[in-house]
Amino acid sequence: MTNKELKALISLLDDEDPDVVAHVHGRIVELGETITPFLEEAWEESLDPEHQKKLEDLIHDLQFEALHRRLKEWKEEGAEDLLKGMWLVNTYQYPDVRMEDVMKIIGELHYEVWVQVKPEMHPYDQVKALNHVLFKLQHFSANTKNFHAPTNSMLYQVLESKRGNPLTLCVIYMTMAQRMGLPVYGVNLPNLFILTYKSEVVPQFYINVYNRGLILTKNDIDNYILQLNLNPVDIFYEPCAPIDIVRRALRNLSMSYEKLNDPEKATEIEKLLDVLADDPVDEAEDEDSDDSEGSEDWED
């Protein structure tokens, strides 16, 4: 369709005949997100709040359908690129954020880490050096004042604000560690996402990023599980896959919207979770109801 035809089509959204509006709505959805700039232009030109609301809803629907499709494609590609998966989560609320925007900050942060973390260091010292960069020099920290803000689950916003929840901070920390060749991976603990350093060089240990990179032992994890009255299972101790991390990010985001009394957005996030689901019910992951619980159990 020509630009003139597209603008004429969009103008019919304001038609008095509901059948015409429904037909136009369906046609626009078929055209996909490429029509979004024309919808945004129509919104700017409109002086009718009701018409603007129709346009806003339509733009959101198009962006949501695009995200739904991209998440499905990410999964079908193998769901190995964690940063891409987290960026896709980010685009739910901030569709204009580009992957290039995320990678630019990641690259700048990686340089700071490269200066401080040396291959010849003992693993504990490598972790301490990484802690120094992220928490002392870059001032990343837990957003305890506004824990349930949706932005805590948005990677780009956390990279900019340097405030986030356990999961997003762990993603940043793990990305920096892995770029330095460190065997650091995510661990799906109930109520608190942490990292593990797992190699043949030293006994496996754990890192509580939410508490400024505090190093933990297996006994610490055992005690934490005991406090929650849960049976110890492998998922609480061993590395998890990137898709598990993105699922957890979506669950955290869904809970944020529930806390903000926004059930429509929470329901949309559940639909995105369905795209990434392997089984109807994932019992181990269902333990993760709120990353804030237990986050103060390991203060140094």
Give 153-171 pLDDT, tens digit per residue: 999 999 999 999 999 999 9
- Tell me which of 30-39, 138-147, 222-231, 278-287 is least confident: 278-287
Q: What is the pLDDT of residues 225-240, one digit of tens each?
A: 999 999 999 999 999 9
Query: Burial of 130 by CB count in 10 Å (0-12 exposed, 13-18 middle, 19+ buried)?
Result: buried
Is the pLDDT at 79 greater than 80? The verdict is: yes
Q: How confident is the model at residue 47 (pLDDT cuts 50, 70, 90)?
A: low
Q: What percent of the chain is predicted at pLDDT more than 90? A: 69
Would the pLDDT of 299 be above 70? no
CB 91 within 8 A of CB 294: no
Predicted pLDDT of residue 1: 65
Q: Which of 36-50, 52-66, 209-223, 245-259 has the lowest mean pLDDT?
A: 36-50
What does the mean pLDDT of the chain come to? 88
pLDDT band at residue 296 using 50, 70 and 90 as cut-offs:
very low
CA angle 273, 276, 282 (to 5 degrees): 75
Contact 197, 216 (CB under 8 A): no
Is residue 259 exposed (0-12), middle (13-18) or buried (19+ Cβ within 10 Å)? Answer: middle
What is the DSSP pairing of strand 205-208 with strand 184-187?
unpaired
Locate the domains of the chain by residue range. 3-76, 82-287
State the pLDDT confidence band at 286, using cuts at 50, 70 and 90: very low
Q: Write out pLDDT tens, residues 199-218.
A: 998 999 999 999 999 999 99
Single pTM value for the model: 0.85
pLDDT at 24 over 80: no
Structure tokens that stand for 142 in this block: 């837990």
Q: How confident is the model at residue 255 (pLDDT cuts 50, 70, 90)?
A: very high
Q: Give the DSSP per-residue string, 110-165.
A: HHHHHHH--TTS-HHHHHHHHHIIIIIIS--EE--TTTT-GGGG-HHHHHHH-EE-
Which of these ranges, 31-35, 76-80, 254-258, has the smallest mean pLDDT? 31-35
User: What order do you get walking across the sheet with 205-208 strand by strand?
Assistant: 184-187, 194-197, 205-208, 214-216
Kindly tell me if the per-residue pLDDT of 281 is higher than 60: no
